Structure 1
């Protein structure tokens, strides 16, 4: 049904995030004029038509899209229900599995510690987690795990944030190293109570501390700082945050970001009292959608083996828009400072080590910040990432524009929904400009 999370996320990033970034980067001369559109009653007529076209029998049960511009509350377009067998209407407060859209949250949490001097971007990881002092590296990427050499430089905090640490990912790696990680329980995510061949196989280790210790025993797939390879770096960052802050990772996110930002619907474990808001996730078999994780019996209602900083959060469109809006406003929302401006500006900027490039399948011709892709050239100021079950969130930090789409199906490139959404979003934004 689903081959690997790697293909899911690569396809999402290539076909959705990159294009959404391009459409947001409409040009510095035009974008400030969006602030003049605050009085328009409907910002998204074309997006609304796309959502309505894709929701219904034989399509998707429900969907939410949004656009936020300066000087007004975000406009949400919501149609349908939270599942084919769930009659509750989908809304901006429905709960969705956001998977790798967790990475920017974890990244920004780390950047706050950097701004406070509790972490350094180029600080060696072993200063916080001593087991990472003497790492071994595969001589050949995804090759034998017996042919190794000592790492030529230490892993740093920058490397963890930008997928340049050389740490592997069970959804990316192949061969012996993938098998080794799975045997050690280095499974950095969950999908369903059902066993889905090829995805998150193995029994995950329990506890971030144990996860970090076991991951240190696995060879790196590349020397730190030399190659961009999608990784469990943001999951390991959860343990780094615990050590640097003296708090549990989940508590740190709640106390540092979620509560001050007014994000009341973002969880690693969905409370039973909120189960009624949780959507159903589907696997796409051709044109047929098969439920793989229902809202009423979701695996996300259980306590996870550990808080997955790379793919573990459930959130609502309203909540995640608040996160993006806070970033767009340099760490402020509703008159309250959540993150230091320095943390936001650095984290949404290009943090890639010199000479490292992103593979085309993950966005190419771009930079990478704290857990998210960063636009260059005409896309300068665009920051965001996507999730493996059909969610995308991005922000233009220069012009305070942010946009999202939330749906639940895997793989997200099974149909042409996301490219259609991108085209409609661009049309709506251009129409707003032409009115002025």
Structure 2
């Protein structure tokens, strides 16, 4: 939704870092014959093209870049606009975007690598890695008091599966209300950033300065649901960053670079944008009364600073070209350009529905769908979106890769993030009937 002013609590607390506006239409891919889908290769994406051009020409966004590809072929690219309103540098696949919750699938696949290595399993209890989570307390009343009168012992252990699928019972400062939200802020459990600018209603509290402290702080606060019972958007993927560094024996950001980014040829994906690359960084805008206002200028972005810690749920900046390589690796079942990044089994498992049995999805963003390692699963399609308007999905069976990159907040201000998968499907459907 559009926010009325920068004090709007919906903007500052519930909409900022979440990727839930991505409503995948991917299940419909399984209903389309795959034989002629490759006809789309070559730039025949009229609905996507028209929408990108309309958004930029109308001044809703400064830029938009869509990548659409098949298998290991180079993507078709639709790019319009400049890195900032009034700027002269045109946006392209090498431009840098704050992908926010599109970080979650990246962290999810990093976790799957450790499963592939035999270091953990989906059902490894978290307490075996981080003992402080052995005896968690759970709120009886959701978002109620965090005093003893409203707490009860967890009935089951948090597992790796739970954290990957937002079913651990962990909260999220952008989702919770009341005392638990306040406690997250007071303890610095803030796994994200928006701007250097002092925007009222944003950035309350100072984040802790390490994943270790982040994990230790979470372990001292109650869960909002019993583990494995309810889907609730959470800090689970951020906490997995700490799991990854403990299990692997290397810092989380180094693990990503060593095991994923370097072998996949993703040389433009960062938690901190190097000063030498600032000329590629887009400006992020806040939408106020339908008007985009700069909240994180590319040349003075907070992403040029070292983050408090590597935010595995919402911290990466990436280029459309790099994220397409990530998706190429996935539809390549773990391989890209002859390099094996992860096993086929790990990719297939991570992009499949791994939700706990009998988990309650009612009233959630994923009702009637599945969830994999950090991303929504519909049919054979896996993907997610980010708080600044990015969205990406790929279909493991057909090899389709699709991504759309732009920069505005909240993502719900416009319909593009929600509509992008449908636009892709409309173009495919037209080709199927051709």
- What corresponds to 1:267 in structure 2? 270
Q: What secondary structure is seen at the aligned counterpart in 2 of 1:363?
A: coil
How many residues of Structure 1 are paired with residues of Structure 2 in the alignment? 424
- Counterpart of 1:325? 328
Q: Who is 1:310 aligned against? A: 313
- For residues 88-116 of structure 1, give each alpha carbon's deviation from its aligned partner in whole angstroms, at most 9, with x where no partner exists: 10001100000000000001100110111
> Does residue 394 of structure 2 align to residue 388 of structure 1?
no
* Equivalent residue in structure 1 for 2:298, among 285, 295, 308: 295
The CA deviation at 1:420 is: 5.3
Name the CA distance, whole Å, in 2 between partners of 1:166 and 1:367: 17
Q: Is residue 32–residue 399 contact of structure 1 (8 Å, CA) maintained in 2?
A: no
Is the partner of 1:291 in helix, strand or coil? strand
Secondary structure of the residue that 1:296 maps to in structure 2? helix
Deviates more, 1:157-166 or 1:300-309: 157-166
Deviation at 1:222, TM superposition (A): 1.1
Matches within 5 A, 1:11-410: 13-14=20-21, 16-19=22-25, 21-22=26-27, 25-27=29-31, 30-38=33-41, 41-56=42-57, 58-70=59-71, 72-146=73-147, 147-375=150-378, 380-410=379-409
Partners of 2:154 and 2:312 lie apart in 1 by 25
Query: Which SS does the other structure have where 2:59 is aligned?
Result: coil
* Residue 410 of structure 2: aligned partner: 411
Matched residues in 2 for 1:54 and 1:125: separation? Answer: 44
When the two structures are superposed, what TM-score results if normalisation uses the length of structure 2?
0.93
**TM-aligned CA distance change 1:251 to 1:420, over 3 Å:** closer
How far off is 1:72 after superposition?
2.6
Are the counterparts in 2 of residues 35 and 70 from structure 1 also a CA contact under 8 Å? no
Length-normalised TM-score, structure 1: 0.93
Q: Distance in 1 between matches of 2:242 and 2:23?
A: 28
Distance 1:409 1:355 in 2: 36
Higher alpha-carbon deviation: 63-72 or 184-193: 63-72
Measured in 1, the distance between the counterparts of 2:266 and 2:74 equals 15
CA RMSD for the aligned pairs? 1.8
Unaligned runs of 5+ in 2: 1-5
Q: Are the counterparts in 2 of residues 50 and 420 from structure 1 also a CA contact under 8 Å?
A: no
Q: Which runs of 5+ in 1 are unaligned?
A: none
Structure 1 position 150, deviation (Å): 1.3
Is the CA contact 1:17–1:384 (under 8 Å) kept in the aligned structure 2? no
In the aligned structure 1, how far is the partner of 2:202 from the partner of 2:162? Answer: 25
Q: Are residues 71 and 240 of structure 1, via their aligned partners in 2, closer, same or farther at CA, if it must alter by over 3 Å?
A: closer
Give me the whole-angstrom Cα distance separating, in 1, the residues matched to 2:394 and 2:40: 18
The question of whether the paired residues in 1 share the 8 Å contact of 2:269 and 2:316 is answered with yes
